[in-house]
Amino acid sequence: MQAYHFQDFLFLFLLGVSSLTLAQHLYCHKGVYVNIEDDPAQTFNWTTEKVETCDNGELCQESVLMITAGDKTAVLATKGCFAQLMEAMTFVQHAPSPGLTAVSYSNYCEDPLCNSRQKTTSMTATLHCPTCVAVGTCLSAPSLPCPNGTNRCYRGKVELSGGRMESSVEVKGCTSIIGCKLMARISSIGPMAVKEVCPHQSVYQSRKTESGATWLLVSVWCLALLLPTLLQSLIHFS
Ligand SMILES: *[C@@H]1O[C@H](CO)[C@@H](O)[C@H](O)[C@H]1NC(C)=O
Ligand SMILES: *[C@@H]1O[C@H](CO)[C@@H](O)[C@H](O)[C@H]1NC(C)=O
């Protein structure tokens, strides 16, 4: 009887220890894939049976680069643990269609086995970006398809001060501009000082994009057309 109780205790103790271990260590899907595919949107399956245990400070990641020439696509993909400070999702259309195309996607997430994307369908579709423009902060940023000629998502704030102006405009959308250069680095418009601030280019919190919808959102507006109009109305109404 005594021994039985002791075993119970031992079992509970071990259970406690193992759940403590679980809490400390993150498990992620693990795998590497390199292949030439005819139609990766249909045939490529990113599922992997292997799992690895991350070291402290590592998150789960899944990343893929797809380069298409004609009817063949090179697919290079990896899943596993990787040292990264924050959850983030990046989608870059390096070279848009027609012709040669190159698309990359990477996702860092912090829940157990969260790097579990199976398909690349959404990645080969038209680039979509969260799109909005607002004085202050955007309340919503619907995902809209990008016009031809754009190849990445922009997200930034343009801050104006001086000439009795104290305003900032939040802007998100499709662009071909690399980096935080919507305003082409100009530092003033008349008496107003201009400051452009961007978080990491094309990075979104993956929690908000679990459905995969947000990061594929598309922009209807052409930012280049929209921003001057907005700046004008700002100037007129103040
Ligand atoms: C990928 O393969 C796994 C098993 O290998 C299967 O369970 C899963 O449904 C497949 N996913 C897709 C999208 O075909
Ligand atoms: C963009 O380019 C694609 C491929 O060339 C074409 O099918 C599509 O109609 C174009 N879209 C616009 C809005 O011009």
Please state the three-class secondary structure of 34-95 as a single string: EEEECCHHHHCCCCCCCEEECCCCEEEEEEEEEEEECCEEEEEEEEEEEECCCCEEEEEEEE
**pLDDT number for residue 226:** 37
d(C-alpha 116, C-alpha 220), whole Å: 31
Q: For CA atoms 34, 39, 42, 43, give the dihedral sign.
A: negative
Compare 149 and 10 and report the one with higher pLDDT. 149
d(C-alpha 55, C-alpha 77), whole Å: 21
> Which of 75-84, 108-117, 214-223 has the weakest average pLDDT?
214-223
The rounded percent of the chain whose pLDDT value lies above 90 is: 24
Pocket test for ligand 1, best of 47, 62, 116 (most atoms within 8 A of CB): 47
**pLDDT number for residue 22:** 44
**pLDDT number for residue 219:** 28
Confidence category of residue 220, pLDDT binned at 50, 70, 90: very low
Indicate if the pLDDT at residue 49 is higher than 70. yes
Enter the tokens of residue 48. 């992997």
CA-derived radius of gyration, the chain: 23
> Which of 15-19, 91-95, 195-199 has the weakest average pLDDT?
15-19
Confidence category of residue 112, pLDDT binned at 50, 70, 90: very high
Pocket test for ligand 2, best of 148, 151, 174 (most atoms within 8 A of CB): 148
For 138-160, the pLDDT digits (tens) are 998 888 888 877 777 888 999 99
User: Ligand 1 — pocket residues by CB below 6 A?
Assistant: 45, 47, 118-119
Q: Give the residue, by CA position, lying nearest to ligand 1 atom 10.
A: 45
Q: Is the peptide bond before 147 cis (omega within 30 degrees of 0)?
A: no
Q: Give the residue, by CA position, lying nearest to ligand 1 atom 4.
A: 47
Indicate if the pLDDT at residue 218 is higher than 70. no
Compare 2 and 192 and report the one with higher pLDDT. 192
User: Ligand 2 — pocket residues by CB below 6 A?
Assistant: 97-98, 147-148
Q: Which residues contact 13 (CB under 8 A, 6 or more apart)?
A: none
For 195-210, the pLDDT digits (tens) are 999 875 444 333 223 3
Indicate if the pLDDT at residue 214 is higher than 80. no
**pLDDT number for residue 121:** 63
* Spacing, Cα 67 to ligand 2 middle (Å): 20
For 54-90, the pLDDT digits (tens) are 999 899 999 988 888 888 888 999 999 998 777 777 7
* Spacing, Cα 125 to ligand 1 middle (Å): 20
For 152-194, the pLDDT digits (tens) are 788 899 999 998 999 999 999 888 887 888 888 888 888 899 9
SS3 124: helix
d(C-alpha 58, C-alpha 56), whole Å: 6
* Spacing, Cα 15 to ligand 2 middle (Å): 59
**pLDDT number for residue 224:** 35
